[in-house]
Amino acid sequence: MHLPRGRGNLRSRSHPGIRSGTQLAVTSGTRSTLLSIFHHCAPSRSWRAVLVSNGVDTSTQRLVAQICRPGDRLQTSYGQPEQVLKPILHRPPDVDTCTDAQELIKAISSRKVVRKLLLDRVHLPGDGWIQVFEYLDSLPSLRPEIREIDLRSCNLKDRDLVAISQFLSNNSTLNSLWLQNNCFDFSTETAETFIAAINSSRLGTLRLSSNPNLNGFVPRLLRGLDTMYLNILELSMMKLDAECAPHLSDYLASPRCHLHTLHINANKFLIEDIQIIHHGLRLNYSLTALEIHSVILRGDDDREAINKYFQERVKIQTRNQILRQRVAVDALHLLRHSRAALLPSLIPLATPTIPPPHKLLPPEIILHILSFFAPILSASQRIRIFTYASTRSTLPPILPRLPVRKCLPDPSAPPSPNEGCSENCCMGPALYLSCRRQYERMDWLREMHCDIFDSREGPTTGLEWPTIA
């Protein structure tokens, strides 16, 4: 099911919004889509849902009942999902009929809020895409709003990638970039410009599948990537071979790698190449999802070896997931105690009093005692937290802050007696699909380099490094 184009979205292949009387097909696999509809579309609209009874569970029906207003009529259809979805899926004319850049720019500028540019299979002649990204880069008010750009199968060339790189450079808002199935040549100058733009931005998801690996682009990309924000990388169906395997291994084993998801499916890897990649994977502590499907197998021995590597990969991913959670918990625990022990008093006392006992100890002993609250953290990670906790400027502001990212409530969650999240008080991720406090916590962990286990130093309080035999 395609996601509806609601407020803040610009999608080239979906039905144009949810209006009064619109039929919404619901199947057993559309729960996430319904939650996105609830988030992006105004809840005051009157909807008419068509429930496809094949496999729809009770929780999904309850979710539809909460999304629709009490006066709406819920109809039930016993047809197949494809038959129900067919009449409501079509292409909105304001995007797919664009024949040049000016029409697309007009379609973008007609919207008050643009957070996603979903422009897959939109073809612009000449320098059309260059004009579009120059327009986006020229508007300071629009650039901070765009968080996702989908340019799959748009027949993009190197000159278009340079324009995209200029928009991406020093961009702290764009989180996801989809560039699958285009016509890049990846010249040396273009590749260097693109890699530098990625390193200077906060891009979290990069999808490059189904692009040709021309001019050694993937090895150059893996050698040049140096960003802690890139978490998802897709390099499937790019005809990667034995030349790329050592570069993948070196990148996975290096401290520059902060990926938690890597897809390298349907390439030209042999079992020897998988063995090289696993050498680097054993030294990686960030990956929790690695896909290497459709490997070239030459016999039963290769099948046995690939099964062995798959089992080892599952153990490594489980280890990394456990260590990631443990590092985050210990970092937050250490911050709580470091605030009380290291932060100087904000209000000077009028009369001299006896200082607390821990203030009489040398700073080195205080830091050593605090290190036992986070035994899995490395020395460099603890020093960053100590510096942060002892700085007054890092304390939360007393006055109300400006509007920030709001929490997205879960419609299927039970009602809460509290009023919900406000600008200065967040109820936490228990009843919310997207929690502001959780986003801020992840940003802080990344700033302290505590989003992954630091294998370069390892724990320094007697614990052994976790290894995979």
Q: Which residue has the higher pLDDT, 22 or 248?
A: 248
Closest CA to 150 of 337, 294, 275, 5: 5
DSSP summary character for residue 337: H
Portion of the chain with pLDDT greater than 70, in percent: 64
| One domain for residues 341 and 450 | yes
Choosing from 88, 121, 147, the residue where a domain stops is: 88
Domain membership of residue 312 (yes or no) is no
Among 14-18, 107-111, 262-266, where is mean pLDDT lowest?
Answer: 14-18
Q: In angstroms, rounded to a whole number, what is the distance separating the alpha carbons of residues 386 and 338?
A: 6
Q: In angstroms, rounded to a whole number, what is the distance separating the alpha carbons of residues 238 and 249?
A: 17
Residue 448, pLDDT > 70, answer yes
Choosing from 88, 123, 156, the residue where a domain stops is: 88
User: Given this model, what pLDDT does residue 405 score?
Assistant: 56
* Mean pLDDT of the chain, nearest integer: 76
Among 120-129, 171-180, 263-272, 348-357, where is mean pLDDT lowest?
Answer: 348-357
Burial class of residue 246 in the structure, from the number of CB atoms within 10 Å of its CB (0-12 exposed, 13-18 middle, 19+ buried): middle
Domain membership of residue 308 (yes or no) is no
* Phi, psi torsion values for 409, nearest 5 degrees: -70, 155
DSSP summary character for residue 270: -
| One domain for residues 229 and 116 | yes
Cα 462 to its chain centre, rounded Å, is 35
Give the domain CATH number at 118: 3.80.10.10
Handedness of CA 413, 415, 421, 426 (dihedral sign): negative
| One domain for residues 54 and 108 | no
Residue count (the chain): 469
Q: Which residue has the higher pLDDT, 153 or 84?
A: 153
User: Given this model, what pLDDT does residue 146 score?
Assistant: 87
| One domain for residues 214 and 251 | yes
* Phi, psi torsion values for 14, nearest 5 degrees: -165, 165
- What number is the average pLDDT over the span 244-273? 95
| One domain for residues 18 and 75 | yes
Domain membership of residue 448 (yes or no) is yes
Residue 252, pLDDT > 80, answer yes
Residue 344 tokens read as 């100087």
* Phi, psi torsion values for 178, nearest 5 degrees: -110, 120
User: Given this model, what pLDDT does residue 334 score?
Assistant: 96
User: Given this model, what pLDDT does residue 40 score?
Assistant: 42
| One domain for residues 219 and 329 | no
| One domain for residues 231 and 277 | yes
Residue 26, pLDDT > 50, answer no
Look up the domain containing 441 and give its range: 324-345+355-397+422-469
| One domain for residues 124 and 273 | yes
Domain membership of residue 415 (yes or no) is no
| One domain for residues 234 and 104 | yes
Domain membership of residue 310 (yes or no) is no
User: Given this model, what pLDDT does residue 315 score?
Assistant: 95
Q: Which residue has the tokens 């919207």?
A: 111
What Rg do the C-alpha atoms of the chain give, in angstroms?
26
Reported confidence tier of residue 74, pLDDT bands at 50, 70, 90? very low
User: Given this model, what pLDDT does residue 441 score?
Assistant: 87
Residue 182 tokens read as 């285009």
pLDDT tens, 283-319? Answer: 999 999 999 998 888 888 899 999 999 999 999 999 9
Q: How far apart are the first and last CA of the chain?
A: 44
Residue 249, pLDDT > 60, answer yes
- What number is the average pLDDT over the span 78-96? 36
What is the arrangement of strands in the sheet containing 261-263, beginning at the earlier edge strand? 8-11, 114-118, 148-150, 176-178, 205-207, 232-234, 261-263, 289-291
| One domain for residues 378 and 264 | no
Q: In angstroms, rounded to a whole number, what is the distance separating the alpha carbons of residues 149 and 156?
A: 14
* Residues 437 and 444 sit within 8 Å (Cβ to Cβ): no
Residue 14, pLDDT > 50, answer no
pLDDT tens, 392-403? Answer: 888 877 765 555
Domain membership of residue 409 (yes or no) is no
- What's the total number of domains in the chain? 3
Domain membership of residue 432 (yes or no) is yes
* Residues 252 and 281 sit within 8 Å (Cβ to Cβ): yes
Phi-psi region of 92 (alpha: psi -120 to 50; beta: other; left: phi over 0): beta
Burial class of residue 101 in the structure, from the number of CB atoms within 10 Å of its CB (0-12 exposed, 13-18 middle, 19+ buried): buried
b/e per residue 262-286 (b: at least 16 CB within 10 A) = bbbbbbbbbbebbebbbebbbebbb
Domain membership of residue 302 (yes or no) is no
* Phi, psi torsion values for 403, nearest 5 degrees: -55, 135
| One domain for residues 193 and 258 | yes
- What number is the average pLDDT over the span 329-349? 83
DSSP summary character for residue 254: S
pLDDT tens, 201-244? Answer: 999 999 999 998 888 999 999 999 999 999 999 999 999 999 99
| One domain for residues 59 and 165 | no
In angstroms, the Cα distances linking 199 to 130, 168, 343, 454, 459 are: 21, 10, 34, 21, 29
